[in-house]
Amino acid sequence: MNEHKIELGELYKQVRSSESGLSTEEAEKRLKEYGHNALETKKKIPGVLKFLNQFKNFFALLLILGSMLAFLAEYMSPNEGNFYIGVALGAVVLLNAVFTFIQEYQSEKIMESFKKMMPDKVDVLRDGKRKEILAGELVPGDIIFLSEGGKVPADARLIEENSLKVDNSSITGESEPQLRKTECTHEHILESRNMVFSGTLVQAGNGKAVVYGTGMNTQIGNIVLLTKETKAVETPLHKEIRYFIRIISSIAVFLGFSFFIISLLLGHRMIGSLVFAIGIIVANVPEGLLPTVTLCLSMVSKRMAKKNALIKNLESVETLGSTTVICTDKTGTLTKNNMAVNSVFINFREKNVHEKDMKDTSGLLHMMKTMVLCNNSKYDNDDKERKFKGDPTETSLMSFSNNFIDVDVLNKSNPRVHEEPFDSKTKRMITLNQEGGQITAYMKGAPEIVLAKCSRILSNGEVISLSDENRNMIYEHYKKFASRGERVLAFAYKPVESSGFSSKDENDFIFIALSGMRDPPREGVPEAVEKCRTAGIKVIMITGDYGLTAEAIAREVGMVDNDKEANIITGEELHNMEEDKLKKELKKENIIFARTNPAQKLRIVKALQENGEIVTVTGDGVNDAPALKNADMGVSMGISGTEVAREASNMVLMDDNFATIVNAVEEGRNIFDNIKRFIAYILTSNIPEILPFIAFILLPIPLPLTVVLILSIDLGTDLLPAIGLGVEKPEEDVMKKPPRSKDERLLTSKLLLNSYGFIGPIQAAAGFFSFFFVLFNNGWIWGQELAFNNPLYMKAVGAFFASIVICQIADVLVCRTRRQSLFKKGFKYIFNNKLICLGILTELILLSIIIYSPFSHVFFGTQPLTIKELLLPLPFFVLTFVYSETRKYFVRKGNGFFERYLAW
């Protein structure tokens, strides 16, 4: 990594080339040696295999097994309805696979975005002639030509340049395109101006360079490699759903196998026992769970998109709710990214720029000249309001000056003859401009740097010696400005004799003034930070700005209390810090990382995760991609972010606003509660679906509920109400509680006891009551066998089915609140969730079709019920409310038994 420092002749030797470039024959040999100039993304898995992978989860395998057993039963004993069961189960598996496949498809594009940064063709010197070749055929040793508007095709060192400016922001995070030079200007290769890097953009000028790195052996190749090696973090919701599927599937397999053996031991036929095993498995598996989760997350994502938060990975919605730490940028996220000059220190006194006598200030013209002439921002000709474009700091200086002088006239009358560009090492910019026959050097930069190069000061129109007392006064105002959150620059000038300029000429400047520029906080950010505090979420600022400026903004938005000390860690301190020390520092409050680079974010994120935190991190550059991918929740900027950052993230802020993240966190917390609600709802019907099969084995009765009707409940009548629960609005205290524990499960013993031990048995009792009432009321005798197409049997089965559906209406209403009384919410509350109302209406319509439509009787095996028979489950409907309200009352009162066992 010394290509920028060694002599050019030495570099030619290293890459086995010369000023004449390569021959075509040699280039072809090297292409075989080094490979194509392309970024290696992970090997693509064919779409068919991706789709087939969706059939590997427990639910899918169980339902496939159930479908195969149903077809086997149909083969062994035809025309008993098992064929329809097999088809229905197969359709369920296919539906779930399609949903999951679509959800995962969009997350596969991250690596492809890197390829889009590479140009298709490039001009190169081959056989002593300039010719155009495919960028993929470029090899080390090639001489390439760079021109305005083109992308740099490989890592290379400049051998010629003509006012060449390259935008390195995608690699280094620098916000302003920088002039290039043919000499080494910095120890670090990324900072040295004699280098150009693959994937960056030529903004102006032209040049010639010798290639030393192609493909994966480039700076962007290193980022690709790091991003490939950085494993995407599994979302907490995905872990919970996997756990849920594993537990429920294990219960299904255990019960299915156990009662299949019991059925055989009791002397039942193989075919009957097989059908029974299918029924137990199907009754235990909530077939609608995965599509319901996906649909709920999709609907919440659309709701969030209206609030400027674009969710790319649906499961990440819930991850936001688990967030314990948010690592945020400052500029543009906490602040408006609208820099403006706020105050000036000139003539030994501080002036507010809005003072009426500002234009009469002595020395103002010298300051304006430096602000305008030592500046690379320009008018945006595409903007009707004629705003300036360029680095925000420079545009703010230009806009300020434009209020007092005509900057166009000033630039034209003072043409630039030389420039010493700003970089992170020199921390200053110097231009030489000619006015008439006089050449003047203008300098702006960090106050400590500029002051060190000044020996005199301009005071009230007179140039006097710069004393130590004067220097101390300037330093005090520098600190004062910075403590207010202002970005501070110093300005100086001196007449020079010629356009030649070197480092030895950087002395004896005349100090003019300090200016403080302020990027105000966004509206709503202080309130959002306070919300985070109340919700137990730590907010850490990671910025490239100075510590004092960062601290001032942090205090202004409420990240650091005025009576507490900020823990500021600079990029240099972080670089020298041991890992254990970093982890310890991250446990402190009021943390600010200042003067850091995007690459250091990944280290901070990993350290936080090793401390057990769920981390949400913001980023906008290519270098942020590994941190965004490794974070539990990566958030990129929609306005200022690069395409690679957006692809690597889980969420895109369309307004770049921190407050939008906090609003999304609130939605994320609510979705976990909502998923818990609809899991409690869909599990309840498992008991009235399982018990009929157990009763059928143990008692001399017909099977009270068929597999087809179970699927009608799980995928028909239950589906829309469950989705309604999934989009229930957050409760008032959702952001007043700490983040949920990593150990908190979706499926808990309390939830299972509530669903399987209380509400489920109530529904089962309703079903058996209706089933036996219809049988006995129509002359059935205990122990009498009934064929599956017997009208009385079909009517009794329909009554059992109707009882479950009617009781589930009560269940969906009581599941809307976990602790609060439904009746205290008021009558209007019952109707404020339109999806649940629509779901209940759909349940009743489907029930009517299945029970009363002649076309449905053959497939579903039902017969019409009388009004009296349809209303049989009403006492159990009421009992569901009585039990639920009693449970919630004692939970609110803190009753030990209810808190311990039923506070799900």
Q: Which long-range contacts (C-beta less than 8 Å, at least 24 apart) are formed by 627-630?
A: 627/598, 627/601, 627/602, 629/110, 629/227, 629/230, 629/232, 630/230, 630/231, 630/232, 630/233, 630/602, 630/605, 630/606
The answer to whether residue 329 is catalytic is yes
CA distances from 829 to 393, 724, 808, 825, 834 (A): 52, 14, 18, 6, 10
Residue 194, number of CB atoms within 10 A of its CB: 22
Q: Helix or strand or coil: residue 587?
A: coil
Question: What value, to the nearest 5°, has the Cα angle with vertex 483 and ends 479 and 484?
Answer: 125
Cβ neighbours around 200 below 10 Å, total: 22
Distance, CA of 317 to CA of 668 (rounded, Å): 5
Cα-flanking dihedrals φ and ψ of residue 99, to 5°? -60, -50
Give exposure, 655-677, as e/b (b: 16+ Cβ within 10 Å). bbbbbbbbbbbbbbbbbbbbbbb
Tally of CB atoms within 10 A around 511 = 26
d(CA 798, CA 810): 19
- Is residue 287 within 8 A of residue 63, CB to CB? The reply is yes
162 sits in which H/E element:
strand 155-167
Residue of 580, 584, 622 lying closest to 601 (CA atoms): 622
**752-to-11, 680, 816 alpha-carbon distances in Å:** 70, 8, 17
Cα–chain center distance at 845? 40
CB 80 within 8 A of CB 74: yes
Residue 46, SS3 per DSSP: coil
Please tell me the distance from the alpha carbon of residue 579 to that of residue 132, in angstroms, as a whole number: 49
Terminal alpha carbon distance of the chain: 58
Are residues 206 and 20 in contact, defined by beta-carbon separation less than 8 angstroms?
A: no
What phi and psi values does residue 818 have, to the nearest 5 degrees? -95, -25
CA-angle at 812, arms to 808 and 814, nearest 5°: 110
Among residues 887, 334, 807, 804, the alpha carbon closest in space to that of 556 is found at 334
Compute the distance between CA of residue 123 and CA of residue 153 in angstroms, rounded to an integer. Answer: 10
Catalytic-role residue among 142, 167, 329, 656:
329
Residues with a catalytic annotation lie at 329
